[in-house]
Amino acid sequence: MSSRRTYNASGSLRTLAVGSWECGVGSWELTAIPGRVKAARYNTKMQEIIRQLLSELGENPSREGLLDTPKRVENSLRFLTSGYQADVDAVLNDALFSVDYNEMVIVKDIDFYSMCEHHLLPFFGKCHVAYIPDGRVVGLSKIPRVVEIFARRLQVQERLTNQIAATILEKVKPIGVGVVLEARHLCMSMRGVEKQNSVAVTSAMLGTFRSDARTRSEFLELLRRPSQG
């Protein structure tokens, strides 16, 4: 093992083999860096696991550039999977309004980012949502919020598409719902088949969008039209 100048918990300088001390819920290490003392604290189980992962990849998690990586990766993963803690009812319940309107409502080109559950790599693209009200509508901004709640989870595109459609059908209770997702998957672009220009398209048609071919065709035709603005 290599030696390194380190500071112990009391702040005194000594030389010892590179390592870490167990400390409550995690471990911590103080590493002497020219001109300052840098502390790497691993206060959660996830951070310690990420540190071990870096070691398994052949890296030195104690070097300067990686000292805060476990904390950064945990924060990133917590954000990218924040949909698990989101409450659909809290988003939608105050945004349902009685309106005498029974034509199609479309919110298209909703940007989304999600994580493939197979490789933990991102997939991202556009989501298009349509529904036909049955006496009430939902605030337009809430549809992207629903997309966000389910996208910010470990996903496969097919399930994500179905969850968005099923949630709008259950909560808004329209005559029908149509959802189309178009996405690029980094697990296909940067590994595996390495097809950088491929796009996956999925759809979910419920209610009148499934039973009435004219409604379905109208929705798909409107998606082909260029967006304005």
Task: Kindly name the residue from 48, 127, 185, 218 that is annotated as catalytic.
Answer: 185
**187 classed as catalytic:** yes
**23 classed as catalytic:** no
**118 classed as catalytic:** yes
Task: Kindly name the residue from 47, 155, 157, 163 that is annotated as catalytic.
Answer: 157
- 28's CB contacts (< 8 A; 6+ apart) are 20, 21, 39, 40, 41, 42
Task: Kindly name the residue from 23, 52, 64, 118 that is annotated as catalytic.
Answer: 118
Task: Kindly name the residue from 29, 47, 74, 116 that is annotated as catalytic.
Answer: 116
* Cα–Cα distance for residue pair 133/146, rounded to 1 Å: 17
- 5-42 as b/e: b if 16+ CB within 10 A: ebbeeeeeeeeeeeebeeeeebbebbbeeeeeeeebbb
Q: Which two tokens stand for residue 169?
A: 């059908």
* Cα–Cα distance for residue pair 66/77, rounded to 1 Å: 17
**128 classed as catalytic:** no
Task: Kindly name the residue from 23, 52, 64, 117 that is annotated as catalytic.
Answer: 117
**Which of the residues are catalytic?**
116-119, 157, 185, 187
